[in-house]
């Protein structure tokens, strides 16, 4: 019994001795972790100042700050582990991280693909925050470009998250890329209308519509002969934002309708002409070659009846 107690006591003494030996290293590692917190905040502030001076994209500034913050924490934790466990070599840690990164890369390849696509989008800047874009079936205002996805706010108040890899590889229409945007408005007039007079009225009307820009004069083009009308296209320029485009188009339609009504120019409805025949007097049957004589006799009888 005494031998067992001696063994337990000796084991506890050994553990206590080992703990006492590594206690300063553990305390030092904890201090390093605490200092890493302040160092990460410091590097984040430095990265934020550098980003504001050198980068125009707010999303790219955020990415720079986040990268500096995370990198500082990784370096601090690795250094604390080396201090706390002297037998752990830095080369072993780096090798472990290398193998782990390969495994993580295979497991989260879609995430990394979106991450790299987001970085390229932020660097190339094909569009910016608050731009109005169309990606595939989605259209809206860019709220934010995150590391994983691009956030759109649709015109009816919904949020759409589009993966950055899809945005990067798809055709993107940037509706607010320039300061002006053209709208083409189709107008049809009656065939009895004087075309020069109609063109003059449309030109004068669209120039006086509120919201139509003056630096690019509107254009009135004749585009073709329709089934029931001669077709014009009224081309005018407005502010590129979608609300302004819709509002100006509504005012333009109302003004054109009022001007054409005042000039007694009709905007015709679709017209179809239907011909009715008395089917009792016509025979749709086509005779075969063996019935030619009978068919000729029928034709002569029909001609005599008409006379």
| pLDDT tier for residue 298 given thresholds of 50, 70 and 90 | very low
CATH fold for domain 125-174: SH3 type barrels. (2.30.30)
Check whether 112 has a pLDDT greater than 70: yes
Q: Are 235 and 183 a contacting pair, CB within 8 Å?
A: yes
Q: Do the first three CATH levels of 17-107 and 125-174 match, i.e. the same topology?
A: no
* 221 touches 163 (CB < 8 A): no
Q: Say which CATH architecture domain 17-107 belongs to.
A: Orthogonal Bundle (1.10)
Reported as a pLDDT band with limits 50, 70 and 90, residue 302 is very low
Instruction: Specify the pLDDT at position 304.
Output: 45
What would the CATH number be for the domain defined by 181-262? Answer: 3.30.70.100
Residues in the chain: 307
Domain boundaries, the chain: 17-107, 125-174, 181-262
**pTM > 0.75: yes or no:** no
Banded pLDDT at 133 (limits 50, 70, 90): very high
Mean of all residue pLDDT scores within the chain: 79
- Residue 202 pLDDT: 95
- The count of other CB atoms within 10 Å of the CB of residue 184 is 11
**What's the mean pLDDT in 276-292?**
57
Whether 97 and 126 have beta carbons less than 8 Å apart is answered as: no
Residue 305: pLDDT band with limits 50, 70, 90? very low
Query: Per-residue pLDDT tens for 225-273?
Result: 988 899 999 999 999 999 999 999 999 999 999 999 999 998 887 766 6
> CA of 303: how far to CAs of 128, 249, 289, 290, 295, in Å?
80, 62, 21, 22, 12
Q: Is residue 89 over pLDDT 70?
A: no
């Amino acid at each position: 019994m005494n031998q067992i107690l001696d063994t337990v006591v000796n084991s506890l003494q050994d553990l206590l001795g080992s703990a006492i030996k590594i206690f300063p290293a553990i305390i030092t590692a904890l201090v390093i972790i605490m200092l890493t917190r302040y160092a990460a905040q410091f590097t984040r502030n430095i990265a934020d100042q550098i980003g504001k001076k050198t980068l125009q994209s707010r999303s790219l500034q955020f990415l720079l700050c986040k990268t500096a913050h995370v990198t500082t924490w990784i370096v601090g934790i690795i250094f604390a582990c080396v201090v706390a466990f002297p037998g752990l070599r830095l080369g072993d840690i780096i090798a472990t991280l290398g193998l782990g990164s390969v495994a993580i890369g295979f497991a989260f390849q879609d995430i990394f693909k979106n991450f790299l696509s987001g970085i390229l989008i932020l660097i190339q800047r094909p569009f910016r925050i608050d731009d109005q874009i169309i990606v595939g079936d989605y259209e809206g205002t860019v709220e934010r470009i995150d590391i994983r996805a691009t956030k759109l706010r649709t015109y009816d108040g919904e949020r759409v998250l589009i993966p950055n890899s899809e945005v990067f590889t798809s055709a993107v229409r940037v509706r607010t890329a320039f300061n002006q945007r053209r709208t083409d408005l189709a107008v049809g007039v009656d065939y009895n209308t004087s075309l020069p007079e109609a063109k003059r009225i449309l030109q004068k009307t669209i120039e006086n519509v509120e919201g139509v820009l003056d630096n690019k004069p509107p254009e009135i083009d004749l585009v073709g002969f329709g089934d029931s009308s001669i077709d014009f296209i009224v081309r005018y320029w407005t502010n590129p934002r979608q609300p302004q485009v819709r509002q100006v188009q509504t005012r333009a339609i109302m003004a054109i309708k009022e001007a054409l009504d005042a000039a007694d120019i009709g905007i015709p409805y679709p017209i179809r002409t239907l011909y009715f025949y008395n089917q009792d007097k016509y025979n749709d049957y086509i005779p075969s070659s063996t019935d030619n004589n009978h068919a000729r006799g029928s034709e002569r009888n029909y001609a005599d009846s008409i006379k």
